[in-house]
Amino acid sequence: MHVVQVSFFVDPERRSPSRLLEDWFSLSTIAEAVASTGVQVTVIQASMVTERIEQSGVRYHFVAPDREGKLLTKSATFPTLLRELSPDVLHVHGLGFAREVIELASLASRTPIFLQDHADRVPRIWRRATWRRGAAAAAGISFCAQAQAEPFYRAGLLGREVQIFEIPESTSPFVPGNATAAREETGIYGDPAILFVSNLNQNKDPLTVLDGVGAAIVALPGLQLWCCYVSAPLLSSVKTRVANDPALRDRVHLLGLVPHDRMEQHMRASDLFVLGSRREGSSFSLIEALGTGLMPVVTDIPSLRALTAEGSVGELWECGNSTALTAALIRAASRPRSETRASVRAHFDATLSPSALGRRFAAAYASLLPSRQDSA
């Protein structure tokens, strides 16, 4: 089986293809996970810089879109490349490229199209007619959690005949490691040391996290909270909240941006991983934390439920409910840490590892192919 994965998003920074593979690590992670199962995988990535790269058994074609820099399917080279590749399945990243998917279906009318959700939202009303036509061209769509498809059904954008697959958005190469060495390297300490890796905005709800952590200090006097973030529109509010609470003042560490190649050690050095998200397509930071065996204490929303096997790994708590977070932190901190690390990693190996993710995508692709009886 030959699968061509297509990404229509054009990098506004016009980075080189090799740099894109480093910075957009999920592009190669997903492709290489599928290739590890024996499926032939080729990637076509829209790019203002054209190049071909082969890496870990996957061929990447960076192709320029049309003259207006919009539709990749209208470029001079795309139709020819598609005919040369002759894929069995087309895997399109994202649900927001309806026009491109419609064009793709016209270019390869006999090839099933598989769409992968990447935290896409229901489109505005004036875009829905085109979006609906694009979705209708798909044979299958994956979401991190099946419940994430419901808003699209309610808006009348998806037909019940389209196969829906519950597949994590990505995977991670992160693995467990020596916690003592990681603490020495990163400077992280605490009993427990709690790691928050998320932007400081309304959706990630850091203020509720601070309230829950603050109340947990009575039961967990050695607690330390370490916060890693990039975007921080609520940074001023967070700083004020911490400064005004003597219990938090010496326990909250605002680290800001931590380079991705150092994040693995931060997760190894920590005891618990906390998120306050009200909405997530699929949390990359949670997937990475699970890869290191770090116990999650995360909000009870569809994607995080799916990634934690309905909360059987770690603790789930109600969005916006700091009291629920406090109780969840206390429960999680009481568990034996070495046993917890092992069980979390075992869950990751079974459901979220590169090999597990590759198998899930490969099975989904295979189910879209016509049976021998149908093709006879």
- Whether residue 347 is predicted with pLDDT greater than 90 in this model: the reply is yes
pLDDT tens digit sequence for 254-299: 999 999 999 999 999 999 999 999 999 889 999 999 999 999 999 9
- Residue 328: left (phi > 0), alpha (psi -120 to 50), or beta? alpha
Q: Specify whether the CB–CB gap between 147 and 280 falls below 8 A.
A: no
- Whether residue 306 is predicted with pLDDT greater than 50 in this model: the reply is yes
End-to-end CA separation in angstroms for the chain? 18
pLDDT tens digit sequence for 79-98: 999 999 999 999 999 999 99
And the tokens for 145? 């959690």
| Secondary structure of residue 92 in the 3-state scheme | strand
> Which pTM was predicted?
0.92
Supply the pLDDT for residue 372. 46
Supply the pLDDT for residue 159. 84
**Percent of the chain residues topping a pLDDT of 90:** 85
Q: Specify whether the CB–CB gap between 294 and 344 falls below 8 A.
A: yes
CA distance 146 to 90: 21
pLDDT range class, residue 320, cuts 50, 70, 90: very high
- Whether residue 361 is predicted with pLDDT greater than 80 in this model: the reply is yes
- Residue 201: left (phi > 0), alpha (psi -120 to 50), or beta? beta
Cis amide leading into 168 (omega within 30) = no
- State the sign of the Cα–Cα–Cα–Cα dihedral 212, 317, 321, 279: positive
And the tokens for 103? 């064009």
Under DSSP, the state recorded for 191 is: B
Kindly report the number of other CB atoms within 10 A of residue 240's CB atom.
12
pLDDT tens digit sequence for 128-142: 999 999 999 999 999
* Average pLDDT value for the chain: 93
Supply the pLDDT for residue 375. 44
And the tokens for 25? 């690590």
pLDDT range class, residue 337, cuts 50, 70, 90: confident
Query: DSSP labels for 122-160?
Result: PPPGGGHHHHHHHHHT-SEEEESSGGGGHHHHHTT-S-T
Structure-token match 């400077």, residue found: 187
Under DSSP, the state recorded for 198 is: S
The full set of domains in the chain, from first to last, is 2-169+355-368 (3.40.50.2000), 179-352 (3.40.50.2000)
Q: Specify whether the CB–CB gap between 140 and 112 falls below 8 A.
A: yes
pLDDT tens digit sequence for 30-70: 999 999 999 999 999 998 888 999 999 999 999 988 766 66
| Secondary structure of residue 34 in the 3-state scheme | helix
Q: Would strands 272-274 and 224-228 be described as parallel, antiparallel, or unpaired? A: unpaired
pLDDT tens digit sequence for 160-187: 888 999 999 999 999 999 999 999 999 9
